[in-house]
Amino acid sequence: GSMNILMEKTRYAHYNINYHLVWIPKYRRKVLVGTIKADLETAIHEIAEKLEVKIESLEVQPDHIHLFVSAPPRYSPANLINAFKGATSKRLRNKYPYLKSLPSMWTKTYYAGTAGNVSAEVIKRYIEECQG
């Protein structure tokens, strides 16, 4: 579909800055299912609200998260990914003790892109490369 050129506003900036952010759980564990998936989605929405980041779409698969956001210019993609990964990890590990046995919830890597659509193919390649 065509990108809607919808401008967001902060006090000082009008902006249209969108990022695709993809990250994956450690050890190829298919942990992002059931109540964990539901809690993760809720957490991501709450974090976005706190950051004043608009979620355009969110897809949680058992082996990856694909988040498409519109973000104020003050954030770099690295800021965003660290905020989402850090807060979700903390929350899920507190709620699900068995996740604490994993040294960390997410791998250190992430994919960030700004272009139009990110195909399933790109995501698949990223996951495969990260998992070596």
Catalytic residues: 126
Closest of 130, 93, 91, 105 to residue 29, by C-alpha: 105
Quick one: tokens of 40? Answer: 């993760």
Q: What is the DSSP string of 70-107?
A: E--TT--HHHHHHHHHHHHHHHHHHH-GGGGGSS-SB-
C-beta of residue 80 within 8 angstroms of C-beta of residue 87 = no
Task: With H, G, I as helix, E, B as strand and everything else as coil, classify residue 125.
Answer: helix
